[in-house]
Every structure is written in structure tokens, then in C-alpha cells.
Amino acid sequence: MWIFSPLMTTENAPTDPTYRLRAAASGREAIAPVREGVVYRDAETGEELEPVAAVLPQDGVGSALPRTPVNLRVCRRCEQLTPRDLATCEFCGLPAA
């Protein structure tokens, strides 16, 4: 089960390393940039989320954001879901604005 918490949005671009976080009791998960010394909690249950795996760095091509609903927009030409942090649609190349 994936939780799309407001931990990461286009406003808080990832400068911190990104981790897969998990709540021990329920197994609910999220992907978010993690800063040392900060306690992360599930947006719905309030359980503490603990880092369980680091997300591999990307090759610098394409979106730096996790592919979650808050980070996607619908392209007005091809109607595909494309990352918000890219200047053009990743499918048809139409500029975002």
C-alpha cells in the first residue's frame, strides 16, 4: 500500500536523499526526501515512518520527483500523465505552459 503524503511536492524539490519509508505496525509506505534528525509520520495514521531503503540516484534525465499523483499533471495535447518538474511533456514534447 502506497501513501501519497504531502512529504514531497514540486515546491520541496529533492536536495535531501530520497528514501522508502515504512510504518512498522501497519506496513504503510511512502517515498520522500529524508533529512537527518526529522521524524516522519504517516499522514493518515500518525505512525512513525522509518527509512527502509534508499532510492537509487537517477541518471539526470527526466523527472527527479517520485511518480506519485501530486507530482504529475495531465498533458493538454496527449492527455498522458507527465511529471510536473519537466518543462515539456515526456510523451509528446508539448511545453508545460
State which of residues 75, 81, 88, 97 lies at the interface with Zn ion (CB under 5 A): 75
How many residues contact Zn ion, by CB under 5 A? 7
Among residues 24 and 94, whose Cβ is nearest to Zn ion? 94
Strands 18-23 and 29-33: antiparallel
For 27-53, give one letter per residue: b (16+ CB within 10 A) or e: ebbbbbbbeeeeebebeeeebebeeee
Cβ 69 to Zn ion shortest distance, Å = 17
C-alpha dist (Å) from residue 89 to 9, 33, 34: 18, 24, 28
State which of residues 54, 62, 78, 88 lies at the interface with Zn ion (CB under 5 A): 78
Among residues 43 and 86, whose Cβ is nearest to Zn ion? 86
Region of 1-9, 11-19, 48-56, 73-81 interacting with Zn ion (CB under 5 A)? 73-81
Per CB under 5 A, 89 contacts Zn ion: yes
